[in-house]
Structure 1
Amino acid sequence: MKKSFLLVLVALLLVAFTAKAQDAAKTEGSEKKEEVSGLEVHGGVDAYFGYNFNEEAMKTSFTGVHNSFELGMANVILSQKMDKVSFVADLAWGPRADAANGSAGSSTDAIKQLFMTYAATDDLTITAGNFSTFVGYEVIDATGNFNYSTSYMFSNGPFYHTGVKADYAVNDQFGFMVGLFNDTDSKTDANGINHYGCQLSYAPSEELSAYFNVLHGREAIDQKGTQFDLTGTYQASKDLMVGLNATYKMISIDTDGADDQSWMGAALYLNYMVNDGLGLGFRGEYFDDPDGVNLGVASGSNVIDLTFSANMKSGPLTFIPEFRIDMASEDIFVDTDGKPTSTSPTLLFAVVYGF
């Protein structure tokens, strides 16, 4: 299956360079002026205060500190386009960036994304470098999410990939992507390049879009993972946006006598803009961990996350008060007396600035 995937990727690259040669032949002997855009700079900063009523750290990403003012992330994104080619350099610093990048004290820790693209034709684009994952609904940047805290699916799914991918627009509604990557969430590969993924996109209108994603690869010497993921958004009205994410991961273990494992989840997102300065959001998530891969209960457990957020905007500044309660089938949390409990409520106040 891996060889077949490599053949497909090589074929797309050949199509890309053939198309480039054809374009060159058409313009030979005539002057062709390249369109060059100026260097664009944007990004964001964020910070938060979190109070967990159990006085414990949350089990999802980026908000793991209780009763403290905390820095999030500062990131600066540089980009430029020149005719058919472009680049993006996304540099980030702070606790949120460290958690997303898997900080290991190396010179690449500040690189959140670093990739180049080549538009071989109007329909085919090749991207190479380090880029955010195509799997899931939420993103690393606080400026890209309505809720400040993150879901269990996002926290346990991939954050980024390093490698090469090809995006092809079949028509105005359908698109397809294939990619070959290093180990997930790694800028280098310790096991030999063996991760690959694909995405089928469908956007029948400006209001509706859906993406079906698959990611597969060897995660350890005796372990392979395959994740199936579906995301979708629907702009139900001018003010109401509905989002959906559902994911299922299978973990195949080669060790004799060891059972395969899995986890799964689904979430519904509702965002309603009351006016230009105020938005109300809700996330309802169900996360099932039957084999104890992520929640730590060997016999299996699940958790429901209900998150209520407001987005209060003043120009580029967004203030996000948020209340969240996590309710588990088992006692995976600890209360203020140090006793196991099945619920964990949290109050957050975040400030996000995008530019």
Structure 2
Amino acid sequence: MKTKTVTNFLRKVGLVALALVSFTTIAQEEEEKKWFDNFSVNGSVDGYFRYNIGAPNESDDFDGDASTDDSFIAPGTSFANQSGFALGMANLILGYEGEKVGFVADLVFGQRGEDAVFNSDGSAQIVNQLYAYWNVSDKVKLTVGNFNTFLGYEVISPTGNFNYSTSYMFSYGPFSHTGLKADFALSEKWSAMLAVMNPTDYTENNPFDTYIVGAQLGYSTDSGSAFLNFRYGNEGDTDEVDPTFQVDLTTGWDVSEDFYLGINTTYLSTEPQGDGDASGFYGVALYPQYKTSEKFTIGLRGEYFSVYNGGLTGVIGLDSENDGDVIAATLTGSYAIGDLTLKPELRLDSASEDSFLDNDREATKSLSSFVLGAIYKF
């Protein structure tokens, strides 16, 4: 009798334990399926200190005279061009990743963000990216909305760049697009993309009733990647501009465990209205980087950038035929302190024509500067 009682007791304990295990497993499965688990929040904040070496650091009001134009005491590129301590931007990225569909809302606040979305008005000035996507299959993904450009080596967010200041090719290539794009996984290593978009950087609407097309062919391995990019179309009112064509190659490879080499080259041409020659720009940049320790990496950006037939104005000085070029060398250190990264850098811009000012506010062909950037990523 005693044995039977003990056996029944053990059986009941076993059933209770089994029920508890089953309940725990079901609860865990339900917990794994909570809808908010697919949401993500990340971003960054950044600021910097900038000082000209051998050039003015104080500002004068613009009066139409190049000798007092503030743009001549900073490199003719985007961002990090204010003297002294200055703000970058706060970047907040909200995302949802479902099994088939999702969205990204990328919001920017501050000077760098405003410069990045310069063709927007009103509240849209805080929108860097805003798009939804559909994974049609394992090999096809459709994206519609406002997304950062697929061309070029550098990006708007300082967390995506090694150098804190930006290149000429990045500054005058497209920043963002609004439209529809389709990404294709051709194989484990090869990819392709096709897109139909508004004129470049008109991300809020399309005031011209013209569109551009974009394309990309990519190759990626564990040690690096290469992307050949194209865009073509009328970038504005057809009564004022003719179509623009741009081809861009972006590639980067781990040469060794500690040494990385990136390369970017681009060519842009805009057809003339009526008779005349096409105008535009082209350039090439090398990005060698060497990791000296787990916390510190040093890198150089060496860039050659050329404007022909007045393809850009107000960037560098042009000669009598509206041609000009600039060589820019930027030496940057990157030191990580947890989620904070400090980036001290020395930069020298040397142009073919007078493009900058010296301490006497006399025109000169070169400008040297120091920047200390601070970026916190979360």
1:114 equivalent in structure 2: 130
2:329 equivalent in structure 1: 306
Cα contact 2:101–2:132 (8 A) shared by 1: yes
Cα contact 2:259–2:291 (8 A) shared by 1: yes
1:211 to 213, 223, 227: 227
Moved over 3 A (4+): 33-37
Per-residue deviation, residues 208-255 of structure 1 (Å, max 9, x unmatched): 2100000111123232211000000101122211100000001102x2
Structure 1 residues 185 and 170, CA gap change in structure 2 (3 angstroms): same
Q: When the two structures are superposed, what TM-score results if normalisation uses the length of structure 2?
A: 0.82
Could you tell me how far apart the structure 2 residues matched to 1:137 and 1:104 are? 24
1:262 equivalent in structure 2: 280
1:200 equivalent in structure 2: 217
Identical residues among aligned pairs (%) = 39
Cα contact 1:48–1:70 (8 A) shared by 2: yes
Structure 1 residues 128 and 270, CA gap change in structure 2 (3 angstroms): same
1:332 equivalent in structure 2: 355
Could you tell me how far apart the structure 2 residues matched to 1:181 and 1:166 are? 12
Cα contact 2:75–2:349 (8 A) shared by 1: no
Aligned: 1:191 with 2:191? no
2:257 equivalent in structure 1: 238
Identify unmatched segments of 5+ residues in structure 1: 1-32
Cα contact 1:124–1:169 (8 A) shared by 2: yes
2:299 to 276, 281, 288: 281
Q: Kindly state the Cα deviation for residue 157 of structure 1 after the two structures are TM-superposed.
A: 0.4
Per-residue deviation, residues 283-339 of structure 1 (Å, max 9, x unmatched): 000001122323341521111110000011100000111000011111111212121
Identify unmatched segments of 5+ residues in structure 2: 1-31, 57-72
- One-letter code aligned to 1:302: D
Could you tell me how far apart the structure 2 residues matched to 1:153 and 1:57 are? 16
Name the count of aligned residue pairs. Answer: 320
Could you tell me how far apart the structure 1 residues matched to 2:300 and 2:276 are? 39
Could you tell me how far apart the structure 2 residues matched to 1:296 and 1:302 are? 8
Q: Kindly state the Cα deviation for residue 185 of structure 1 after the two structures are TM-superposed.
A: 0.6
Could you tell me how far apart the structure 2 residues matched to 1:206 and 1:35 are? 33
1:65 to 73, 78, 82: 82
Cα contact 2:154–2:170 (8 A) shared by 1: yes
Per-residue deviation, residues 95-126 of structure 1 (Å, max 9, x unmatched): 10000000654121111001111010100000
- One-letter code aligned to 2:265: A
Could you tell me how far apart the structure 1 residues matched to 2:310 and 2:340 are? 40
Aligned: 1:249 with 2:268? yes
Cα contact 1:166–1:178 (8 A) shared by 2: yes
Could you tell me how far apart the structure 1 residues matched to 2:217 and 2:292 are? 33
* Structure with the largest fraction of helix: 2
Cα contact 2:120–2:202 (8 A) shared by 1: no
Q: Max radius of gyration: which structure?
A: 2
Cα contact 1:200–1:212 (8 A) shared by 2: yes
- One-letter code aligned to 1:230: L
Cα contact 1:93–1:110 (8 A) shared by 2: yes
Per-residue deviation, residues 114-167 of structure 1 (Å, max 9, x unmatched): 111101010000000100000000000011111000000000000000011000
1:38 equivalent in structure 2: 38
Structure 1 residues 274 and 131, CA gap change in structure 2 (3 angstroms): same
Aligned: 1:345 with 2:368? yes
Structure 1 residues 167 and 34, CA gap change in structure 2 (3 angstroms): farther
Could you tell me how far apart the structure 2 residues matched to 1:35 and 1:293 are? 54
Cα contact 2:146–2:178 (8 A) shared by 1: yes
Q: Kindly state the Cα deviation for residue 51 of structure 1 after the two structures are TM-superposed.
A: 0.9
* Structure with the largest fraction of strand: 1
Structure 1 residues 167 and 104, CA gap change in structure 2 (3 angstroms): closer
Aligned: 1:290 with 2:308? yes
1:4 equivalent in structure 2: none
Cα contact 1:183–1:190 (8 A) shared by 2: no
Q: Kindly state the Cα deviation for residue 38 of structure 1 after the two structures are TM-superposed.
A: 2.7
SS at match of 2:124: coil
1:226 equivalent in structure 2: 245
Q: Summarize the alignment of residues 2-81 of structure 1 with structure 2, pairs less than 5 Å apart.
A: 37-53=37-53, 54-55=55-56, 56-66=73-83, 68-81=84-97
Could you tell me how far apart the structure 2 residues matched to 1:71 and 1:323 are? 19
| Stretch deviating more after TM superposition (78-87 or 216-225) | 216-225
Q: CA RMSD in A?
A: 1.6
1:7 equivalent in structure 2: none
